[in-house]
Copies of this chain bind each other. A is one copy, B any other.
Amino acid sequence: MNSKLVECVPNFSEGRRPEVVQQILDAVRAVPGVRLLDYSSDASHNRSVVTFVGEPQAVKEAAFRAAERAMTLIDMEQHQGAHPRIGATDVIPLIPVGDTTLEECVVLARELGQQIGEQLQIPVYLYEAAATRPERRSLPQVRRGEYEGLKSAIHLPERQPDFGPARMHPTAGATAVGARPPLIAYNINLNTADVAIAKAIARSIRGSSGGYPSIKALGVLIEDRHLAQVTINVCNYKEVPLTRVFETVRSEAARYGVQIVGSEIVGLLPLEALLEAASFYLRLEHFQPDQVLEQRLQR
């Protein structure tokens, strides 16, 4: 495995016509050095999420070609769906993998945004770590008003795109291009069915109510197990690692006489996030990821 890799998870505003999604996937597959890892379509959202990975320039090329293909196949004037969206290629996050840094993904996002803006004449907004204005770090802020609202507001100075024309593309609308750390979906289960306790713990850890800025959390009831769960997005595991989330939840739960019965990782996570957990609890000194045999064998 090359250690300079980028993951790309673009979202397209088409979740009902599989043949359209396949043509977009074909555009990605056609780029050498890019591996399509996953895709899924949601009919009620009328939206598809695609995951691919590769070397930075190959990923940029695949994302550009997919956006170009989506522009010719999706008409935002006809689009309806439950999920917020501003364009045919709605959002393109670039995520560092291996030795790639977030800063390298920011540079790549700006190159990709410029290419889409100039060559496809689609207005592009840079968001999260790639944002050029503080208020655009937040994707919901960038998507405010959605396709229809942005169409009538794009001429305003505060809605000027970072690249491309200050008017919506006639079929493709606009696109948000950003860079962000890998997100870890992490759930912690409690030995209580009292969802109010899970909600209180969620409030204590999440950024929106004064907790860790990079943590999103909700308290929910898992009915078939009769237990309350704190369901968490760890949005920057280098800033706030799994161990700190776990230990904070443990400590807050103890306040109610409640214990953690288990936790679960939903989907994928970077190796580094698990090595951090082992290092934290075993108090490892001087541990290097290339001491992992499987990592060494990839050299």
Do residues B182 and A293 form an inter-chain contact, with CB atoms below 8 A? yes
Contact digits for A275-297, partner B, Cβ 8 Å, 1 yes 0 no: 10110111111110001111111
A-B contact pairs, 28 of them (CB 8 A): A1-B294, A1-B297, A7-B293, A35-B297, A37-B296, A37-B297, A97-B293, A243-B282, A262-B283, A262-B284, A262-B285, A263-B283, A264-B286, A264-B287, A265-B287, A265-B291, A268-B296, A269-B291, A269-B292, A269-B293, A270-B292, A270-B294, A271-B295, A275-B278, A277-B282, A278-B281, A280-B281, A294-B295
Q: Given the complex, which residues of B lie within 8 Å of A293, measured CB to CB?
A: 7, 97, 182, 268-271
Residues of A within 8 A of B (CB): 1, 5, 7, 35, 37, 53, 97-98, 182, 189, 242-243, 246, 260-265, 267-271, 274-275, 277-278, 280-287, 291-298
- Provide the bound-state CA to CA distance between A295 and B260, in Å: 28
- Provide the bound-state CA to CA distance between A286 and B285, in Å: 29
Do residues A282 and B98 form an inter-chain contact, with CB atoms below 8 A? no
Do residues B263 and A292 form an inter-chain contact, with CB atoms below 8 A? no
- Provide the bound-state CA to CA distance between A267 and B265, in Å: 29
- Provide the bound-state CA to CA distance between A148 and B160, in Å: 87
Given A270-B293, A271-B293, A277-B282, 17 extra CB contacts under 8 A: A1-B294, A5-B297, A53-B297, A243-B282, A246-B281, A261-B283, A262-B284, A263-B282, A265-B284, A268-B293, A270-B292, A271-B271, A271-B295, A274-B278, A275-B278, A277-B281, A278-B281
